[in-house]
């Protein structure tokens, strides 16, 4: 009988120790997250990509501005391709227009589809 009583007492003590350890673990977890928030630096602000400047055409009559028209991006690219006799590649188009690569590719695809330009070599565009 003594042995069973001793075993039961030991089990109760072990259960209370386990509860205390679990409470300590929970407390340490909340402390660790609080410290992590303090230590974690603010996320660096990433500057937004600058958009290409809008191209506008001003119509002046008798010294008075009559209209301001926005020139389409495809017209801008087509004018640049037209002015280069040997053709122009994508990188130079990007420099000249400040458009990103995806926009240049979409515009040149559209112009090729319309039959206004052709490709001499890979990535080099010429007028027809």
In the block, tokens 């069973």 appear at 4
Dist CA 52 CA 110 (whole Å): 19
69: part of which helix (H) or strand (E)?
A: strand 64-70
- 56-127: CATH topology is Arc Repressor Mutant, subunit A (1.10.10)
Q: Where are the domains of the chain?
A: 1-46, 56-127
Whole-model pTM: value is: 0.52
Question: Is residue 50 predicted with pLDDT exceeding 70?
Answer: no
Contact 78, 116 (CB under 8 A): yes
Q: pLDDT confidence of 1, banded at 50, 70, 90? A: low
Check pLDDT > 80 for residue 12. yes
Res 52 pLDDT > 80: no
Pull the structure tokens for residue 114: 């319309």
User: What are the pLDDT digits (tens) for 58-76?
Assistant: 777 777 777 777 888 899 9
Which run of H or of E encompasses 91?
Answer: helix 90-97
Per the listing, tokens 């188009």 go with 93
């Amino acid at each position: 009988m003594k042995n069973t009583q001793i075993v039961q007492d030991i089990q109760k003590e072990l259960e209370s120790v386990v509860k205390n350890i679990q409470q300590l673990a929970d407390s340490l977890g909340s402390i660790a997250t609080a410290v992590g928030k303090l230590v974690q630096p603010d996320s660096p602000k990433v500057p937004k990509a600058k958009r290409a400047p809008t191209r506008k055409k001003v119509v002046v009559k008798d010294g008075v501005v009559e209209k301001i028209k926005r020139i389409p991006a495809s017209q801008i690219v087509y004018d640049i391709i037209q002015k280069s006799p040997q053709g122009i590649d994508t990188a130079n188009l990007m420099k000249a227009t400040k458009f990103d690569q995806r926009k240049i590719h979409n515009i040149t695809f559209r112009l090729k589809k319309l039959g206004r330009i052709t490709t001499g070599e890979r990535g080099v565009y010429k007028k027809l």
